[in-house]
């Protein structure tokens, strides 16, 4: 055991070469949690690319399991959303039996986070029509009432350039139109939105589920760590337990 991972080592499989989310994850995790990332190379964000990515997730997970990680996270929602909730559960259980290591996907992480803050009625925003439609279908199958999912459509490679203020405006408009929402889901890992999570929770008085913060919350929970963090929303501030 090295000094850098005395609280556990997590393997992260990222769908693209895009920077940003990995750096945020490192900053948000407590000291002593080691990360071994592997990046795939999805470039266009097309349906066929996402469908073909599943084999890469499996093969990279085998590499991480052989490296001795205690937990494997599959980042990137569309490839597993295309399987549906039950199809996703089936393949993850199969991989866990094969590799002897716990796995969880980005979708499972988000549904765990929404359940932890006791939200059933949700609104969400995303950065592509494909991901928007997949998210609505998946979350509905998972038992949530999706009041609205609104996309800010940009070319896939430009998603990381969307200003947080533009996302805030879309969330505001969507929430005003759906004031009974119990949580807000910022779908996708490309945009950098941690700077507005706390602001939105104050302004709209509901939990905001942002992908990087949600991931770091579940990593803490799964590794039996309780180290609260201020400024990035209720999940990391209060560290509610997974249901």
Is the pLDDT at 27 greater than 90, yes or no? yes
Lowest mean pLDDT among 3-7, 121-125, 168-172, 208-212: 3-7
Whether the full predicted model's pTM is greater than 0.75, yes or no, is yes
pLDDT mean across residues, the chain: 93
Q: Which residue has the higher pLDDT, 4 or 49?
A: 49
Cα separation, 161 vs 66, whole angstroms = 36
- Calculate what percentage of the chain has a pLDDT beyond 90: 79
Cα separation, 121 vs 75, whole angstroms = 24
Q: Give the CA distances from residue 32 to residues 20, 28, 227, 241, in Å, rounded to whole numbers and listed in that order.
A: 21, 12, 12, 21
DSSP assignment letter at 240: P
Which of 91, 117, 81, 101 minimizes the C-alpha distance to 210? 117
- Calculate what percentage of the chain has a pLDDT beyond 70: 96
Give the chain's domains with CATH numbers: 9-105 (3.40.50.12500), 109-211 (3.40.50.1860)
């Amino acid at each position: 055991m090295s000094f850098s991972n005395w609280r556990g080592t997590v393997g992260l499989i990222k769908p693209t070469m895009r920077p940003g989310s990995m750096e945020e994850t490192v900053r948000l995790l407590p000291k002593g949690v080691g990360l071994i990332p592997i990046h795939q190379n999805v470039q266009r964000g097309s349906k066929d690319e996402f469908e073909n990515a599943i084999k890469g997730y499996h093969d990279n997970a085998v590499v991480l399991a052989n490296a001795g990680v205690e937990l494997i996270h599959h980042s990137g929602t569309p490839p597993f959303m295309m399987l549906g909730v039950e199809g996703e559960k089936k393949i993850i259980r199969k991989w866990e039996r094969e590799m002897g290591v716990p796995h969880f996907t980005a979708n499972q992480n988000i549904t765990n986070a929404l359940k932890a803050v006791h939200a059933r009625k949700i609104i969400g925003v995303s950065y592509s029509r494909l991901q928007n439609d997949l998210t609505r279908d998946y979350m509905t199958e998972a038992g949530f009432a999706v009041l609205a999912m609104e996309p800010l459509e940009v070319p896939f490679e430009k998603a990381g350039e969307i200003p947080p203020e533009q996302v805030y405006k879309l969330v505001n408009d969507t929430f005003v139109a759906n004031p009974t929402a119990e949580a807000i889901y910022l779908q996708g890992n490309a945009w950098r939105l941690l700077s507005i999570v706390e602001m939105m929770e104050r302004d709209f008085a509901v939990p905001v589920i942002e992908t990087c913060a949600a991931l770091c919350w579940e990593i803490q929970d799964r590794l039996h760590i309780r180290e609260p963090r201020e400024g990035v929303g209720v999940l990391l501030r209060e560290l509610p337990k997974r249901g």
